[in-house]
Homo-oligomer: A and B are copies of this chain.
Amino acid sequence: MSPAGRAGRSRAGQGKLTRGCRRVLAVLEQTRELSSAQDIHGMLRQAEPEAPGLTTVYRSLESLVGMGLVQSVDLGDGEKRYEVVEPGEHHHHLICQGCGASVHLDQCLVEDLEKSIKAKYGFEISSHVLEVFGRCRGCLKSSTK
């Protein structure tokens, strides 16, 4: 019997996750929103005072990102956000500066360029950050007044 055994529920290979990782992942899977470490900790503690401490939340996020189950998103405000992704995948966002809404882009522009960048600059890409800020349709309408 594999250690994953009869984990069953949702995501594969979840059996080998620590308690903290499981709790953090559960929150992210429910909210389906970009959440900061402190957001996650707050949600956990609100539901149950015995929930993992903030330190464990940070450590769990680090693990989950390393495993490719979660990606961290840097919006440049000094507070990292996290969200579940398809294992090993990543994507980028349109962030509305009016209402905070975020659109999850389905296609990564940068991966397409890896070969041409390698050819042109000799660089082998290992990662990248790309986030786009602006105003969503709704906020554009409101500001027309």
A128: contacting residue among B74, B126, B132, B135, CB under 8 A? B132
Which chain B residue shows the least CB distance to A132?
B128
B-chain residues with CB within 8 Å of residue A109 when the two chains form the complex: 109-110, 113
Most chain-B CB neighbours within 10 Å: which of A76, A130, A134, A136?
Answer: A134
Kindly specify which of A6-14, A16-24, A25-33, A117-125 makes contact with the partner chain.
A117-125
A145 touches B (CB below 8 Å): no
Is the CB–CB distance between B110 and A122 below 8 Å?
A: no
A103 touches B (CB below 8 Å): yes
Q: Binary interface profile of A, 92-112, with partner B (CB < 8 Å = 1, else 0)? A: 001011000001000001100
A1 touches B (CB below 8 Å): no
- Protomer copies: 2
Which chain B residue shows the least CB distance to A127?
B133
Interface residues on A, range: 20 to 34
CB distance from A141 to the nearest CB of B (A): 9
A129: contacting residue among B76, B94, B117, B127, CB under 8 A? B76
A122: contacting residue among B113, B125, B129, B137, CB under 8 A? B137
B-chain residues with CB within 8 Å of residue A132 when the two chains form the complex: 110, 117, 123, 125, 127-128
Which chain B residue shows the least CB distance to A126?
B134
In the A-B complex, list the 4 residue pairs whose CB atoms are closest, starting with the nearest: A122-B137, A125-B134, A128-B132, A126-B134
